[in-house]
Amino acid sequence: MDSALIDVRSNQEFEQGHLRGSISVELGELPLRMHELPPRSFPVTLICTPDQSQRATDVFSAKGYEIAQLQLWQAETAAQWHNQGLIESGPQAARLWEPAPVIRTFVERFMPTTLESTSNLGLDLACGCGREAVFLAMHGWQMTGIDYQQTALDKAQRLAKQHTVNLNTLSLDVEADDAALSNLPGMDLICVQRYLHRPLLPKLQQQLNPGGYLIYQTFMQGCEAFGRPRNPNFLLAPGELKETFDALDVLYDEVITLDDGRPTNGFIARKPLSPIA
């Protein structure tokens, strides 16, 4: 696919018929649904009615997207697409967004090929809009997402519904409530993306069941040259995660540079099956 297909018509119009592989994002909903879009480095094709074309171009250009094409939805062109077998109906099934790179690395390289229902409990800490939690749920994990912002959790639930997976969400402030994590059941997977609160790190290790996976990716020292965060409290030192979680078996520990130049540490480790001394 050379560009991502984004249909900005109404949801009702989309369900009545849309180009195969497209997603529905009404123009008025765009500020609340940016997390459903592909990276800005990926060109987009906008599908709209003729009267929407100028506004759609302006809105997506202002968000930093390269617009590869405008496809105008009109009766004649829609009939041609239908005859070519390019039209489908119903709610969207396509996915244009991507999880954090370390999550995809885990799924492709380290995730067990078979998940047992007794060992697939997952936790996404500071889950935000839920992309990582939903992606893992799509691959068989029973995920719980925690965030202190209810608006973010609402977006996560909407994303889970779009992709027909179950996602449990909890509105918790884990920095203010010391017992928030310990009140949860033991987890077989814990992931953390773009969030760092060092007092929580020992608790993550304690919350993992034997054999459980820790997946972490957040910003490193050096981000200051490119943008936020600049506060050293939110920036990892080189090798910090490996040193902090030295009782875990490290599977992956790499510097991952984002498209905007900011360095992050991608880290995957597994708790030994035998108890950690």
Supply the CATH number for residue 262's domain: 3.40.50.150
* Per-block mean pLDDT, blocks of 10 residues, the chain (277 long): 88 93 90 88 93 93 93 93 93 85 96 80 96 97 96 95 94 89 93 96 95 97 89 95 97 94 96 74
Domains in the chain, number: 2
Residue 115 carries which DSSP code?
Answer: -
Q: Are residues 128 and 150 in the same domain?
A: yes
Residue 220 carries which DSSP code?
Answer: B
**Domain limit, last residue, from 41, 64, 88:** 88
Report how far residue 60's alpha carbon sits from residue 145's, in angstroms, rounded to the nearest whole number: 29
Residue 93: inside a domain: no
Residue 94: inside a domain: no
- What pTM did the predictor assign? 0.86
Helix (H) or strand (E) segment spanning residue 202: helix 201-207
Q: Are residues 81 and 202 in the same domain?
A: no
Q: Are residues 73 and 117 in the same domain?
A: no
SS3 132: helix
Q: Are residues 54 and 133 in the same domain?
A: no
Q: What are phi and psi of 32, to 5 degrees?
A: -90, -5
Segments forming the whole domain that contains residue 23: 4-88
**Domain limit, last residue, from 88, 122, 143:** 88
What is the per-residue pLDDT for 227? 84
CA distances, 140 to each of 7, 19, 70, 268 (Å): 29, 29, 37, 18
Residue 54: inside a domain: yes
Q: Map 138-200 to HEC letters.
A: HCCCEEEEEECCHHHHHHHHHHHHHCCCCEEEEECCCCCCCCCCCCCCCEEEEEEECCCCHHH
SS3 141: coil
SS3 30: helix
Residues in a beta bridge with 143: 122, 167
27, 31, 36, 42: CA torsion to nearest 10: 80
What is the per-residue pLDDT for 113? 82
Q: Are residues 60 and 112 in the same domain?
A: no
Q: Give the pair of three-digit tokens for residue 182.
A: 């310990």
What is the per-residue pLDDT for 156? 96
